Structure 1
Amino acid sequence: MNRRAYLALVGSSVSASLAGCSSVRSAFSDDELCGGDDCDIGMTRNGFVPEEYEASVGETVVWKNTSDADHTVTALENGIPDDAAYFASGGYEDEETARDAWEDRGGRIGTRGTYEHTFEVPGEYTYICIPHVDGGMIGTVVVSE
């Protein structure tokens, strides 16, 4: 095959295959990602949208898996207020138990699945997705009075 023809063919194939690789964030607004009122925080392939969410004391926050990957919502024990209740999908009472459970897919939120938590203490809450934390899947809920 002619080298120029080959390079043109490869170049057009790469361009065509990359055309659909725009981020979900740019393709959907937060409302579209969560489907309007059925969630507050969406979970894309490797991110929480939005990464930071503002809530009020007593508010229930709903996360929804809007991707085809399994996710968790797992609070970091050193990332929540001292007197706040620990939270994790699967109902685990501490971070170590939640992380250990993930080895058997415990706490899994499947596609279109949801998880919710009611925040009773003001402060900043940092949480992760256990299988995707190395890729940067970290979120924050800031709760005010």
Structure 2
Amino acid sequence: MDRRTFLAALGTGATAALAGCGTSLADSDYDVEMTANRFRPAEITVSVGETVTWGNPGSRGHSVTAYGGQIPEDADYWASGGLGSESDARARYPQEGHVASGETYSHTFEVAGDHEYFCIPHERGGMVGTVVVEE
């Protein structure tokens, strides 16, 4: 086998091997995409009783963490991992609350108002969002 044939075969094999490296998460599996350092869309509007699903199709781990003081007063605290407060979510990440590549997190919103949230490891980079819940 000559050098060109070998390199062509090697390249084809590498491409085939890498083809399965992406996640199996489809756009239809989530409402909000977790990109490298953004939630897309950054703001989503839903009705009371609706569920929002965040999906992580990328390679970086994320969290979906409500700002405790920036959700409606009557709303229960929410965060990936099911933790009961922002301070618990921050203290226990990444052991709890980590949304790995190919995973989703969902929350049903029962209280109208603006629900501000962030990603713990990427907050400083501006990975923040808002769920606007309407009656």
TM-score range, shorter chain: 0.7 to 0.9
More helix by share: 1
Residue 125 (structure 1) aligned to one of 104, 112, 115: 115
Unaligned runs of 5+ in 2: 1-24
Give the aligned partner of residue 55 of structure 1: 46
SS in 1 for 2:132: strand
Structure 1 residues 80-135: Cα deviation after superposition (integer angstroms, max 9, x where no partner): 00000110000000000000001x43210000100000000000000000000000
**What is the 5 A alignment of 1:79-94?**
79-94=70-85
TM-score w.r.t. structure 2 length?
0.79
Consecutive unaligned residues of structure 1, counting only runs of 5 or more, are: 1-33
Answer yes or no: is 1:144 the counterpart of 2:134.
yes
Distance 2:69 2:103 in 1: 27
Alpha-carbon distance, 1:36 to partner: 3.9
Match of 1:45 among 14, 36, 52: 36
Quick check: 1:66 aligned with 2:57?
yes
Which amino acid letter does the alignment assign opposite residue 103 of structure 2? G
Deviation at 1:38, TM superposition (A): 1.1
Q: 4+ residue runs of structure 1 moved beyond 2 angstroms? A: 34-37
In the TM superposition, residue 66 of structure 1 has moved relative to its aligned partner by 1.8
The normalised TM-score by structure 1 is 0.74
Q: Whole-Å Cα distance in 2 between the matches of residues 36 and 69 of structure 1? A: 17
Give the structure 1 partner of residue 26 of structure 2.
35
Identity %: 50
**Paired amino acid for 1:59:** E
Q: CA deviation at 1:35?
A: 2.8
